[in-house]
Structure 1
């Protein structure tokens, strides 16, 4: 029997990337963590700190610093994309749209050309748009590319419900659906406690289960920005969302998680990446679990899908072939060069070496 190490790659070592690495180490998920970032001093420091922390991990973990040698990640089982820019998401996650799409265009194709056949887990915002762009540039099956999507928002909803009812979140099934953004919706009709529907419990015990749904929806929707207001990022919950998805892949769990995945007719939608409950295993993501939604929920989900499609349409074109040339040169985009400059992305010939690091937003 041949036993190989579990290798996880991480692109971006700002706020979230190192936390993902740390979670993978301390939960015993990864045997090797391979880091890439354009900020050489930051990625070098993170690799040192993580290697020092590995002494306290459940088993030995090696952390490798590949700087901007993205091709070195081709041997990984899973790659987590955590490259972004926090200040551009100060109002909403769409603020990173042009910058993060521009970023992934500099390394996804290079990794694909080096022979990567594993799985991508995307953290970067706007999550649904960037996940689709990674899929397009990677050449991988849709089942091999997924985003953290509303895995985090669903956790926020479960956390809010748990605090309101004093029921442990492990006993609560609750999902946020749609984009990882302000158009997402809570699927209240599908919320259950140990198998009992919320509506049934609210009728029999209104003091505990008759909470204000609108208030809790707001907590799930705005939770990231409440964190952002206090510390200008989110770190722990989103990092553990990514680690949870990676664990489901490498341990072949066949667990249903609310992840950003490709829809091909499910929920009446086709041709886009967006968050719904779906099985995650060593085969990747799928099949999708189709919840029975109310008419209002169906309309809200459809509107969220339209929002994501509108964001797709905003991206300037970029050929897959161009993404696989080294160095990768991103064409000038006069309509949005001011956005890149505000985020620190100055320059037209944008190979990966011109991008600063600080990669995370209000996830």
Structure 2
């Protein structure tokens, strides 16, 4: 009896891509990893380091170096190419001229390999780059999506857990919108074990807190990490690995991702961070939260900001 080999290609082996590779391997989510990077010395080093670790991993993982043209038989490709040195302004959009140009150079080569799997984009600005990849790849809707506000939501849950003492897994809350400065917390939908935040705030002072402060900590959490170590690694690689697991196991798990909206939330033709059902076909359904009027207005502002950058991306080569 044969079993399906789970094969993932990673484009870009910088801080993020390398940690994603290790996270996927050490958690036992993949059987084969294929590494692609324009920096030959770096990708050779990362491949060697991962191979050195295989003996102590949960199961055997095959690690190979490849080119864009070799990715055709991958089930999932992770796009993690970027230039971390451009983020000193603490603005994810600062990478756009570089990342969009790079993606436009190699997505065609990837598709010429015969690839028909799922592409998960991490590269910033996440929503814009995901849109570029979706358009250039021509893959069916849902098969290209971004990590979006997945990590931002984890940061929000961490802050709520610290504030209330309630475990992350018992809290339902989402950051939505742009993976950037204009994202928002869907406060009207936050609940703890099914009990709305507003109800608990009437009963317990732990649930009476400055929402704006919590939101700012969620939005700015990545920059706290970046300022001290010059990159983010553990949070994003864990987020990515969880998406991959949801796809390979067809979990139908609800996770926030940068997904194409086709009328949901009153928006059309735009990738933006929203809760989605993730399964074997990628984003299988967008979950539409019952936002209040104020949240809807803020969400539309997020989308307007993304569209401005989408327009700029059209002219980047």
TM-score range, shorter chain: over 0.9
Query: For this pair of structures, how many residues does the alignment match?
Result: 316
Greater RCO, 1 or 2 (C-alpha within 8 Å, sep 6+): 1
Please give the per-residue CA displacement for 1:231-279, whole angstroms capped at 9, x wherever unaligned: 1111000111111111111110000100000000000000010110010
SS in structure 2 at match of 1:142: coil
Alignment correspondent of 1:103: 102
SS in structure 2 at match of 1:107: helix
Cα distance in 2 for partners of 1:129, 1:278 equals 18
Per the TM alignment, residue 317 of structure 1 is displaced from its structure 2 partner at its CA by 4.3
The verdict on how the C-alpha distance between 1:287 and 1:161 changes in structure 2, with shifts beyond 3 A counting, is same
Per the TM alignment, residue 89 of structure 1 is displaced from its structure 2 partner at its CA by 2.1
Cα distance in 2 for partners of 1:53, 1:160 equals 33
Cα distance in 1 for partners of 2:69, 2:207 equals 52
Please give the per-residue CA displacement for 1:203-245, whole angstroms capped at 9, x wherever unaligned: 111x211122111101100011111111111100011111111
Please give the per-residue CA displacement for 1:150-192, whole angstroms capped at 9, x wherever unaligned: 0000000000000011111011111000010001000011111
Cα distance in 1 for partners of 2:38, 2:113 equals 19
Cα distance in 2 for partners of 1:53, 1:191 equals 40
Please give the per-residue CA displacement for 1:82-121, whole angstroms capped at 9, x wherever unaligned: 0001122222000011110001112111111111000000
Per the TM alignment, residue 316 of structure 1 is displaced from its structure 2 partner at its CA by 4.0
Query: Is residue 128–residue 313 contact of structure 2 (8 Å, CA) maintained in 1?
Result: no
Do residues 243 (structure 1) and 241 (structure 2) align? yes
Cα distance in 2 for partners of 1:116, 1:184 equals 32
Alignment correspondent of 1:210: 208
Q: Mapping of 1:57-72 within 5 angstroms?
A: 57-66=57-66, 69-72=67-70
| Structure 1: stretches of 5+ with no match in the other structure | 319-329, 331-363
Cα distance in 2 for partners of 1:126, 1:101 equals 9
Alignment correspondent of 1:264: 262
Q: Mapping of 1:1-363 within 5 angstroms?
A: 2-66=2-66, 69-91=67-89, 92-205=91-204, 207-317=205-315
Per the TM alignment, residue 26 of structure 1 is displaced from its structure 2 partner at its CA by 1.1
| TM-score, normalization by structure 2 | 0.98
Cα distance in 1 for partners of 2:136, 2:55 equals 37
Per the TM alignment, residue 286 of structure 1 is displaced from its structure 2 partner at its CA by 2.4
Q: CA RMSD in A?
A: 1.0
SS in structure 2 at match of 1:314: helix
Over 4 Å off, 4+ runs? none
Per the TM alignment, residue 124 of structure 1 is displaced from its structure 2 partner at its CA by 0.3
Please give the per-residue CA displacement for 1:59-102, whole angstroms capped at 9, x wherever unaligned: 00011111xx1111111000000000112222200001111000
Cα distance in 2 for partners of 1:249, 1:27 equals 15
Cα distance in 1 for partners of 2:258, 2:266 equals 16
Cα distance in 1 for partners of 2:217, 2:110 equals 38
Cα distance in 2 for partners of 1:42, 1:261 equals 31
